[in-house]
Amino acid sequence: MAPPSIALFNTLTMQKEPLVTAEPGVVRLYVCGPTVYSYIHIGNARTFTSFDVVVRYLRYRGYQVHYVRNYTDVDDKIIKAANETGETPVELAGRFVKIFEEDSRALHLVAPDVSPKVSDHLPEIIRIVEALVAKGVAYESQGDVYFSVSSYPDYAKLSKRKLDDLCAGERVAPGEQKREPLDFALWKAAKPGEPAWDSPWGKGRPGWHIECSAMSAKYLGESFDIHGGALDLIFPHHENEIAQSEAASGKPFAKYWMHCGFLDIEGAKMSKSLGNVVRLRDALSRVDAEALRFFFLSTHYRHPLHFADKAIADSEYRLEYFYETLRKVDERVAGKDFGQGPLHGEPGRFLQQFEAAMDDDFNCPGALGVLSGLFGQMNELTDKPPVKDKALVGRTLQALRENVRKLSGALGLFEDEPAQWLLRRRDRAVQERGIDVAQVERLISERNEARKAKNFAEADRLRGELKGQGVEIMDTAAGTSWKVAAPVAETA
């Protein structure tokens, strides 16, 4: 069976192209992973979530995906952080690998097929450096080894920068022994107190860029289909990867390059220099992880994402609406047999619309718009069905619910049981708003007694009292449930 027609934007050619893989039906994908010296921030999380959806959707469409995402556990930042904490670099990196994996599970990120660490791939790294030196495109200088950028004519073909402009902005830093300002380190000579490995050039450790070339080649081959990462990795990291990999192998490196846009905080690009970096771990203490994932997917992966408290709150309330809809539908149709027969409104069209959106460069906002239509029809059929045939309505709701299950796997959404998610959401909102749960339950019990006694005036009064406390109640066939209502927007 021929693979589906999927188009993606290729940063290398700066245009949208059909996905044509080296091996039909198989996608080899490499994503630059975290440097494990601290907690990742929400910009990192957005990138990893975006590529998680890419992997999920390709598999949904029937592709066999070989997904590699690395850990950089040998790096200047790790050494510096370890010196500050008193740990060894290995201990610190290992600790933050575990923390990253915990955060990944919270965000519903699928585990890569391989998660290689730099420290486990020194032989592969050394072999590539040796090959570059042997070809005369790299040179040793007092224990360091540098790649000669002038030896690679296609340098900057990804970033589209002019070499003259790059050279004008570069200087040889004190302590560097490179010949030209743009040359970059493949191997760094050992310094006191730093981790080091034996090499033909003496003890040392790899440079940052060479690690990804070595690990991608080992697990995906010297040429593979897609390389991904954040927009700020285009230069110099990805540019240097291309140069050293193609110079070593003589083959094209990655065919397609995908990059996630920047994230800004209240209108300013998030950066450590501005002091406005939001750690993912801190964000997850304030907002549901799935709501944060929903927020990430609400903007196309290539576009800037504007992080603001209101936007996050809106995503959480939107996700609450989706889960409330699923709870209602499950109560209505779960485990019931409505027989065989026609369906109302062609529920299969939502799958077709979803796939059309996602086939177009993984357009998640468009896909979420399709989901809104699907959930809107489920709400209509449960609350105000346009047809009187209960079996027809039941069959249609079951078909729509099954569509949600299919799409949820492609997006990493709606994978929890609705009742459990809604309870977690309510518990967190209760704590944030300081609501007395015991009092709420007492007032609901009193209201139920008033309704049984047909004292509807008292029942309405109690509903109003609960509303004044920020509590919204819902009367269903399964009984009365409640939630914390959305705050009333202030008017100017």
Q: Is 241 annotated as a binding residue?
A: yes
Q: Is 260 annotated as a binding residue?
A: no
Q: Is 212 annotated as a binding residue?
A: yes
Phi and psi, residue 62, nearest 5°: 100, 0
Q: Is 458 annotated as a binding residue?
A: no
Report the C-alpha gap between 43 and 55 in whole angstroms. Answer: 19
Q: Is 209 annotated as a binding residue?
A: no
- Which residues line the annotated binding site for ATP? 272
- Which residues line the annotated binding site? 32, 212, 237, 241, 272
- Which residues line the annotated binding site for Zn(2+)? 32, 212, 237, 241
